[in-house]
Chain A
């Protein structure tokens, strides 16, 4: 090994040694390399960045939403100062009075649409490229669940400004759920927190919008991205490199690949 310069030795000591120390205990450095430094097909294009774009839009929503929650008041009670409901008054204050509030609320409000649009574009790209096929079926399924939870975010978030549009759109949305056979009326009454929209509705929707559904969404995104990392990016249909992989012949008894039959070991 060639002799290292003094400077290089100092860099090793200051940067690489601590990383070694961390990696030995957590495998964090290896995990990061596994996640980020992947081989991808040579002929991928901007189309394959739509998923990352949707993820970025989600991160923007999460951050701006957390900050908006510092100023938003989920209450239908009348604010004694403004004479309007608290929720609506706090939205007015965020938009018109608080410094840069208009910007952050605007990012959250328009970012919601951007997120959904990017999800659909991403979905279209995956569909047209056939990237949902073996072995990536679960990527597609978790992606559809992400789309559904994203829609739920839109539905619950739409009520929060507590203006006439929000109120009546939510009334229609809840009653739409109510027309589902058998369970519909129960679902509607649960969503509204009672027979009619009221104070319970706004707090229920707020809790779902900022705690329950984001939790589910983040978990789904983790699974989705784990699968993308594990299975790799599919090459486009016109590529000379084959997408996916050959299905192996079905020979071994069921359960051996997952290591469920004793004495068989695991797959891979």
Chain B
């Protein structure tokens, strides 16, 4: 009995001294989730059920994060090609028999409907990191070409759904791995240059609604009842918030339903309207802290695979923030990218927290720098 107690105490002490979770990161995520729920509760006009539902999703994501954090990075690395292949196959299934509202993104699994494209947000950087981990770094043209194929197949399938927002996020998460792997600057310059040169060709392949979003971005006032409505109303919401904000649940833009999608893609506007510039700056600081902390975990990671993966996940997280923030303030086009952990919706919250689970796992196996 005594022995058992002693062992238990040892275990608990071990957990406290060297927790699996990076406590500052976990604390910041918790804070973010709370901010999200409070904003959500206001934006849904004090709909308790919706707030509880979102809380439940966050909890589910948290549990998933804890579970994944227990999986050592070496196992993740071994599974990587299989996970990647499985998620691409699911994408193909969606293309063949998926269903969704307006666009075909969902796979109906009877019990849950889920978007396989969300999986790619994680399996894509994993795959690229797995591949580059076996090649000599910095990457050569030949490995770059292989990576391009790895990215292009799923990204093409997602863009075809059509879900440009997710496709961009998936592409970005793959490219960040290449960037972090140390791709030579002159090569980066060359690639960016040719992308810019190819832009008119890409324009040709965009869907009409995507073109309209870009057009509307350039001149929102030209279409005040159509697409421009989103941007105009969002800017009014943000701008009228002022320095100190209108106060919690006092944002008239969302309450009077002028702001569309105010619990999902445009929740940042609600937040900005109610909490003002002060609130926005504090929130951006919180995001910056999370990203910085994640990059620190990446730098301290034990091997190249973990480093690249952790780095790419952190930078992809940043893309969410900047694309959503840019969208609601009218400096980037309206692509359906949620504000991480604050927008309403399960799939994005769960996939993000799963990503943080990977980071926690990498953190647990970090390099012992000192000593």
Q: Say whether A and B bind each other.
A: no
